[in-house]
A and B are shown apart, each in its own frame.
Chain A
């Protein structure tokens, strides 16, 4: 236990603290201008000053990320289930998914805003959905293909229906893979929800606060909002980790 602490926890924590101190000292001693890099203390001060606005912006972005994440993941899992059964569907979708993976999906934000209306939250949620779809789909499909031949034989010997095979063997076996996909997706959801706001649309989230603070040369404030976004990202990531732990406890 102690050696784990020393070898795995101590080095990164130490590095983090050292980096923070170095950052503060560098800014103070070298008189670095705030537009280049504000001091951590200045950011912390702004952080508490804008807390109410930060909270509402975080809530708005967080809601978008969450809804997009849930909707996109459910869609991805369903499509992966279909693709794992029907080879043709798989062949049809796989190239499109591979293409989506290398394409800047956030660029769709402006046209989605025209399609759904400038006062709608939907465009950003759709962006998150599409971005999230890729890792969840790819990993779920990989997991669904892991079913062992002996388990398939067993289920055939039991004269089990296709649905029973899916429910009792394929899906439980794929769960760890699905969670790998969800871990990646949870981070992507927050990132794309923030970034989609740079492309216009409703201006109530973290992304637009960061841009407007930067445009007003209030750099420590912009950094404070960035840290809000970082905390949001960590919350999402931690939430999927907890979910994974809960799901694997039942095994």
Chain B
């Protein structure tokens, strides 16, 4: 699965999503456009109700847009899901409690009919990658929240997807675990070279991880601004204390709160 060069990993054009509720029609997303290049790390950030999770679910074809189109590696979102072009991780790890760590990571391989020996080798690699070798035979209830989330990430990577969709995967973790997981994710992405769309509430998290941060506003959900973060590929723990990091954090914060005087021209998504 190697997409032709020049094809975007994700191309969202004019997407609108409305939900019928008791109070009438709610517009979760209004005319949203976004494109993500192969290997690029893009975060979606915004207050609750801005539609960032909805946008992710549309790209994953877990819901269908009311209007507009979404392509993933040049195919429809539905075809991309059927072809398993992406891996996904949710806010709750969503592990199956009756399966061991190994069996949970193995799940997608098993569902898609990979051979036993092949499965075993791949799972061993993945467990190594997320640093859980000692816990291969453990069950989810025996793991901490951070470890469960690492299993979920390993599971998302199982089929070597070129695109990772992550919906606040670290949202329920404590701050210390969270920073460690972010560093892990940066390393893993470096090793796999996958494009990532990452939904989050946290400004430092978005800045630390991303090439670009997409700032969204609620009611109706729209993209307000796209902040380019140019912090380079070598992101160590030291980065969190560098001035460039804080500058970007400030940029995103101002974009979020709509502070006047922010350099508005910067990296606004062209349609």
Q: Pick the contact of B98 from A155, A156, A164, A250 — CB < 8 Å?
A: A250
Distance in angstroms between the alpha carbons of A159 and B111 in the assembled complex: 9
Q: Which residues of A contact B86 (CB under 8 A)?
A: 157
Closest 9 pairs (CB-CB, A-B): A150-B94, A251-B98, A157-B88, A172-B98, A159-B82, A158-B108, A160-B111, A150-B90, A158-B111
Q: How far, in Å, is A222 (CB) from chain B's closest CB?
A: 47
Q: How far, in Å, is A168 (CB) from chain B's closest CB?
A: 7
Distance in angstroms between the alpha carbons of A169 and B97 in the assembled complex: 10
Judge whether B112 is part of the interface by a CB distance below 8 angstroms: yes
Distance in angstroms between the alpha carbons of A151 and B92 in the assembled complex: 10
Judge whether A103 is part of the interface by a CB distance below 8 angstroms: no
Distance in angstroms between the alpha carbons of A148 and B28 in the assembled complex: 23
Q: Which residues of B contact A91 (CB under 8 A)?
A: none
One digit per residue, 1 when the CB lies within 8 angstroms of any chain B CB and 0 when it does not, for chain A 12-38 equals: 000000000000000000000000000
Q: Is the CB of A151 within 8 A of B94?
A: yes
Q: How far, in Å, is B59 (CB) from chain A's closest CB?
A: 11
Name A150's closest neighbour in chain B (CB-CB): B94
- Looking at chain B's contact residues, the main secondary structure is loop
Q: Is the CB of A157 within 8 A of B62?
A: yes
Q: Which residues of B contact A164 (CB under 8 A)?
A: 111
Distance in angstroms between the alpha carbons of A135 and B1 in the assembled complex: 50
Judge whether B60 is part of the interface by a CB distance below 8 angstroms: yes
Judge whether A51 is part of the interface by a CB distance below 8 angstroms: no
A-B contacts, CB under 8 A, total: 47
One digit per residue, 1 when the CB lies within 8 angstroms of any chain B CB and 0 when it does not, for chain A 133-174 equals: 000000000000000101101111111100010001100110
Q: How far, in Å, is B269 (CB) from chain A's closest CB?
A: 26
Chain A contacts with B in 66-99, Cβ cutoff 8 A: none
Q: Is the CB of A158 within 8 A of B98?
A: no
Q: How far, in Å, is B116 (CB) from chain A's closest CB?
A: 16
Distance in angstroms between the alpha carbons of A212 and B11 in the assembled complex: 82
Q: Which residues of B contact A150 (CB under 8 A)?
A: 90, 92, 94
Chain B contacts with A in 71-116, Cβ cutoff 8 A: 81-82, 84, 86, 88, 90, 92, 94, 96-98, 107-108, 110-112
Q: Is the CB of B98 within 8 A of A154?
A: no
Q: Is the CB of A157 within 8 A of B111?
A: no
One digit per residue, 1 when the CB lies within 8 angstroms of any chain A CB and 0 when it does not, for chain B 30-62 equals: 000000000000000000000000000100111
Distance in angstroms between the alpha carbons of A151 and B96 in the assembled complex: 8
One digit per residue, 1 when the CB lies within 8 angstroms of any chain B CB and 0 when it does not, for chain A 166-209 equals: 00110011010000000000000000000000000000000000
Report if A154-B84 is in contact (Cβ < 8 Å); known contacts: A168-B96, A250-B98.
Answer: no
Q: Which residues of A contact B246 (CB under 8 A)?
A: none
Q: Is the CB of A154 within 8 A of B81?
A: no
Judge whether B245 is part of the interface by a CB distance below 8 angstroms: no
Q: Pick the contact of A154 from B82, B90, B139 — CB < 8 Å?
A: B90
Q: List 15 A-B contacts (CB under 8 A).
A: A150-B92, A150-B94, A153-B62, A154-B90, A156-B81, A157-B86, A158-B107, A158-B108, A168-B96, A168-B110, A169-B96, A172-B98, A173-B98, A250-B98, A251-B139
Interface centre among A154, A156, A250 (most CB of B within 10 A): A154
Report if A159-B84 is in contact (Cβ < 8 Å); known contacts: A153-B90, A168-B107, A168-B111.
Answer: yes
Name B139's closest neighbour in chain A (CB-CB): A251
Q: Pick the contact of A148 from B88, B94, B108 — CB < 8 Å?
A: B94
Q: How far, in Å, is A11 (CB) from chain B's closest CB?
A: 32
Distance in angstroms between the alpha carbons of A137 and B61 in the assembled complex: 34
Q: How far, in Å, is B119 (CB) from chain A's closest CB?
A: 14
Name A250's closest neighbour in chain B (CB-CB): B98
If A150-B94, A173-B98 are given as contacts, then 6 extra A-B residue pairs at C-beta distance below 8 Å, sorted by A number, are: A153-B90, A156-B62, A158-B107, A168-B110, A172-B96, A173-B96
Name A154's closest neighbour in chain B (CB-CB): B94
Q: How far, in Å, is A162 (CB) from chain B's closest CB?
A: 12
Q: Which residues of A contact B82 (CB under 8 A)?
A: 159
Q: Which residues of B contact A169 (CB under 8 A)?
A: 96
Q: Is the CB of A159 within 8 A of B94?
A: no
Distance in angstroms between the alpha carbons of A148 and B57 in the assembled complex: 16
Q: Is the CB of B88 within 8 A of A154?
A: yes
Distance in angstroms between the alpha carbons of A202 and B66 in the assembled complex: 67
Distance in angstroms between the alpha carbons of A72 and B24 in the assembled complex: 47
One digit per residue, 1 when the CB lies within 8 angstroms of any chain A CB and 0 when it does not, for chain B 1-38 equals: 00000000000000000000000000000000000000
Q: Which residues of B contact A157 (CB under 8 A)?
A: 60, 62, 81, 86, 88
